[in-house]
């Protein structure tokens, strides 16, 4: 069976991606820092039809990444798809966020994706695996999001890295895809101050962001990831942007000239 590795798989989008690969009958290696949560995800992967492999993983730590990949390769084999999904954010004005939080954000979102891809690509090339590296990014790359400046910068860095790495890998059979995500219902902002989030939404609307209340489900993003990976060989989908549809009736349509409501 083909093998998928998913980082940041303990909840939200990562959990949904792992389950989606399970639904395709894949072996799915799930990694994350919350080991207790991974057990539940493994059960969901198995229920979907996949074979789970569980191991704690901290993408900020190269040694942790090496140990994770070594264990996966020894148990189920070289990955056919690796999804760099781990991410976090601390909202706020950049000068007000503690330096250690900024450092954690950069190390998790950007360095973590780089280190994961660096470790993943070697066995793919050595074993002539025609595989996929998928990088989960954010629409904050395309539309800068104030009070999330560091997050936007890290995700922009991930996209630049993915494009450059994709060029390096042309002709090897290893594809790089960016899955750019809009507002999604997950635990991503679970630790944020709710009162602050309530103030952020109208603030972002001043910049043309968060124009409506539509929100994606994690499974919607997972579907995009699987679509890219299952694309026929010879086909490359470099970027997929997934956005929620505006709920029907939430924004009144403009009445054409000459007509009355």
Return d(Cα 183, Cα 140) in angstroms, integer. 10
CB 133 within 8 A of CB 175: yes
Per-residue pLDDT of 30-85, as tens digits, reads: 999 888 889 999 999 999 999 999 999 999 999 999 999 999 999 999 999 999 99
> By three-state DSSP, how is residue 68 classified?
helix
Distance CA 261, CA 256 (A): 10
Which of 25-34, 88-97, 126-135, 183-192 has the weakest average pLDDT? 183-192
Q: Which residues pair with 135 in a beta bridge?
A: 84, 178
Length of the chain counted residue by residue: 261
Mean pLDDT of 192-201: 70
Domain positions in the chain: 3-242
Catalytic one among 69, 151, 161, 188? 151
Active-site residue flag, 203: no
**H or E segment at 242?**
strand 239-242
The tokens describing 14, both together, are 């990562």
CATH architecture of 3-242: 3-Layer(aba) Sandwich (3.40)
Residue 222's pLDDT is what? 96
Q: What is the share, in percent, of the chain residues with pLDDT greater than 70?
A: 91
Look up residue 170 and give its two tokens.
């042309």
pLDDT digit string, tens, across residues 8-40: 999 899 999 999 999 999 999 999 988 888 999
What is the pLDDT at residue 258?
Answer: 56
**What's residue 122's pLDDT?**
97
Cα angle for residues 76, 50, 183 (degrees, 5° grid):
110
What span, in angstroms and rounded, lies between the C-alpha atoms of 130 and 79?
Answer: 10
Instruction: Choose between 216 and 135: higher pLDDT.
Output: 135
- Quote the mean pLDDT of the chain: 90
Query: Strand 27-32 to strand 3-6: parallel, antiparallel, or no bridges (unpaired)?
Result: parallel
- Is the pLDDT assigned to residue 97 strictly greater than 70? yes
Q: Would you place residue 7 in the very low, low, confident or very high pLDDT band (cuts 50, 70, 90)?
A: very high
Predicted local confidence at residue 46, as pLDDT? 97
């Amino acid at each position: 069976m083909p093998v998928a590795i998913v980082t940041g798989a303990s909840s939200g989008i990562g959990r949904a991606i792992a389950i989606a690969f399970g639904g395709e009958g894949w072996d799915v290696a799930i990694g994350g820092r919350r080991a207790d949560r991974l057990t539940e995800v493994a059960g969901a992967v198995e229920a979907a039809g996949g074979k789970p492999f569980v191991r704690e993983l901290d993408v900020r730590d190269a040694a942790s990444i090496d140990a994770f990949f070594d264990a996966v390769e020894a148990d189920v084999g070289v990955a056919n798809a690796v999804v760099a999904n781990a991410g976090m954010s601390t909202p706020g004005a950049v000068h007000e966020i503690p330096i250690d939080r900024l450092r954690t954000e950069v190390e998790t979102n950007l360095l973590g994706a780089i280190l994961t891809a660096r470790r993943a690509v070697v066995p793919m090339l050595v074993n002539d695996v025609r595989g996929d590296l998928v990088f989960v990014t954010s629409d904050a790359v395309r539309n800068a999001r104030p009070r999330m400046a560091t997050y936007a910068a890290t995700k922009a860095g991930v996209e630049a890295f993915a494009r450059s790495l994709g060029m390096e890998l042309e002709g090897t059979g290893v594809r790089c895809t960016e899955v750019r995500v809009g507002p999604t219902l997950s635990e991503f902002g679970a630790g944020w101050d709710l009162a602050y989030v309530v103030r952020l939404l109208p603030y972002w609307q001043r910049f043309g962001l968060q124009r409506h209340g539509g929100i994606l489900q994690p499974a919607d993003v997972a579907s995009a990831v699987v679509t890219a990976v299952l694309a026929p060989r010879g086909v490359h989908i470099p970027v997929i942007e997934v956005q929620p549809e505006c709920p029907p009736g939430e924004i009144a349509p403009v009445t054409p000239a000459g007509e009355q409501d």
